[in-house]
Structures are given as structure tokens and as C-alpha cells.
Amino acid sequence: MLTGRLPAALAVAVAAALTLAGCSSGSPASSPVAATGSPSASGTKQPTTPGPSNGATQLQEAYQTVIANVLPSVVQITTGDSLGSGIVYDDKGDIVTNAHVIGSAKSFTVTLANSTKTLDAGLVASYPDSDLAVIRLTSPPSGLRPASFGDSGKVQLGQITLAMGSPLGLSSSVTQGIVSATGRTVSEPQAPGSPGATIGNMVQTSAAINPGNSGGALVDLDSKVIGINTLAATEPQSNGAAAPGIGFAIPASTITNIADQLIKQGKVTNSGRAALGITARTSFDQQFQPAGAVIVAVTAGGAAASAGLQAGDVITKIGDTAVDSLNALTTALASLTPGSKVTVTYTRDGATKTAEVTLGELESP
């Protein structure tokens, strides 16, 4: 489930519902009298509620420090009648977000953290293959707080994370969890403004990621952005409902690589993504079941052409990974790097063959 492009009308409805629900913080059980161990009406002294341990206090203070450091760098982006989140990338007004948050729009309104004033912004460039885009404030205000990005290679399983953004239109919201896995290759569903990118090396987190969180920051306790909140897993047997505690973020190394190129060149010339240099589609067997990825065209001088692959060949395996569709081929390549060598298994005229291929790099559209 993509977590961006939340309808603005829904955001208003959610906020109104929260107001009507009367989420007050005071209750008889937590009143000052009961909490301090004062005598009850019967004269018997009530037990004192223990305070947090020193370790809990330190963890709480660490959370609050991270939020104070990073939340001012997280913004809300409104595109027409939908919204998402973004991260201030530099003091020139560049903001990085998910490509699916902005869709095909060219102009946006941005609301900074803890502010109600909207600012105009325009598109710098978008790279849907990695689901990243950069927009720029038309008149950047003074005092912008660019975020600091961490080292993706140092992200560890079990590391505490905070997800910041505008879930359900509730700006400047924070959820917490841990890094529950690394190195995930995830295929996004196709949706308006999203071609269904397949992205490798994603960070999996248990921090809640909801509609409107897309483009926001996944942060460690060193106040470093380690990823961009992008999508939540869904349960196929629950009509696409979000699976609790399973979200994915594009890693910081991918963010900075792509964003720097979009800002400096307006396009991506070094994607860091492996490619075979082919155009392909899903192949079906006689029972109309997916049976591989058939090559439609081969790029002259590309990786596949150099290895002797031809149009009409049906790829059935990349290394040890079975390929039964174009999506499976894309997923297999997303976990590899340009320049690496891989064995490609394919069929030609009914015979199974293999080729050793040195992978090329996915070109910018």
C-alpha cells in the first residue's frame, strides 16, 4: 500500500473526528491527588505511582531530542486534493519526497513543521524508477532546517527508529519502532502517479506508516535520516488492508545519490540500478500461466547483447532466482548492482541455455 497522496478531504474529516472524540488527557485515575499518594476519602494513604526508571527517562529524553532536531525538517506537501510529506534537503529550499506523492503535478503548496502558513513550490525533477523526486520552494524562508542523512550501510536490525510525517493529514506526527529487516526488495503497486517501481535495499520498520506518511523521514537516535517512508505492507487476504507493523523506507544512500543528481542535472545519469539492456514482457505457457520474461528488443552494445541474448529468448532464471514474469525479472535485478556478473538461464527454440552476463546500469527515462 502506497502511503502518500492522501485525499485532503479525508485529512479534514480525520482532524474533525479527533476533535469531536474529545481526547482529553485528564481522568480521575490520573488526577494529581491520586498520583501523589495523598490520603483517600477513607483516610487510608493510597500507594504512590512509581515514576519511570532512569533508563526509561534517558530513552524518553533521547526521543525528545531527536524530535526537536529532525521534526522541523519534515514538511507537508499538498498536491491538488491530496497530500504527503517531504524532507528539507538543503537551505536553498530543495525538498526530497516520493515520486508517487507528487504524481504528475508541477506545482505544490508546502507547510513547514509547526506552521500553518503555506509556501509555493515547483518541481525540480522526478525519478519514478526509484520513487524519488525533488521540489523547490519558490521563496525559501530564512531559518530552513535541512535534515542530516545517515549511512545506510550502518543500519542494523533492532535499531530504534522514529517515523515522522503527516499520516492521515495530521502534520508533524511521530511514531516509533525498530528496524525489523534490511536489504528488502519491494515492488510498489501501480497507482495514479506511480508506475509501480521495484526498489532494492529498502529498510523494513515496525514504526507505523500510514497514508500521508510517504516522503517523510525515518530517523535513528542520532538524529540522522536513514530512509524515506514509502509504503506499508498489505495483507492479501484482507482486501488490501495494511499489515500492522510492516513498513518500508527507501535507504538514505539511494536518497542522496538520486536527489543530488536531480538537483544538479535535472535528471539521473547514475541510477546505481542493474539492468540487462532489454525490453521485455511476461511470457505465458500453453495453460496461460506466467512462464518467464520474453525479450522483445535488445539494446545494441548492452549487457544482454554482449552476452549473446536475442529477441525471442525467454528468461527463466537470474542466478538462482526463478523468473516467471517481467515483475519477477525486475525484482531480481533490483537486488543486484551494475558491473556484477550473473548467470542468466533462458530458453530459445525450446532448448534451455545459460549466459554469463555483466550487468549494465538502468538508464534514466
Contact 186, 91 (CB under 8 A): no
Longest Cα–Cα distance in the chain: 93
Any residues with CB less than 8 A from the CB of 362 and at least 6 apart, and which? Answer: 129, 271, 273, 274, 275, 338
All cell numbers assigned to 235: 495483507
Backbone angles phi, psi at 240, to 5 degrees: 80, 15
Active site residue 151: no
Which residue of the set 73, 100, 126, 223 is catalytic? 100
Which residue of the set 73, 85, 129, 131 is catalytic? 131
Give the whole-angstrom CA distance, residue 323 versus residue 300.
Answer: 23
Give the whole-angstrom CA distance, residue 48 versus residue 123.
Answer: 57
Q: Is 172 exposed, middle or buried (0-12, 13-18, 19+ CB in 10 A)?
A: buried
Which residue of the set 152, 180, 214, 325 is catalytic? 214
Give the whole-angstrom CA distance, residue 8 versus residue 203.
Answer: 28
Give the whole-angstrom CA distance, residue 215 versus residue 279.
Answer: 30
Other residues' Cβ atoms within 10 Å of the Cβ of residue 219: 30
All cell numbers assigned to 142: 530564512
The alpha carbon dihedral of 282, 283, 286, 291 has a sign of negative
Active site residue 214: yes
Contact 1, 231 (CB under 8 A): yes
Active site residue 324: no
The set of catalytic residues is: 100, 131, 214
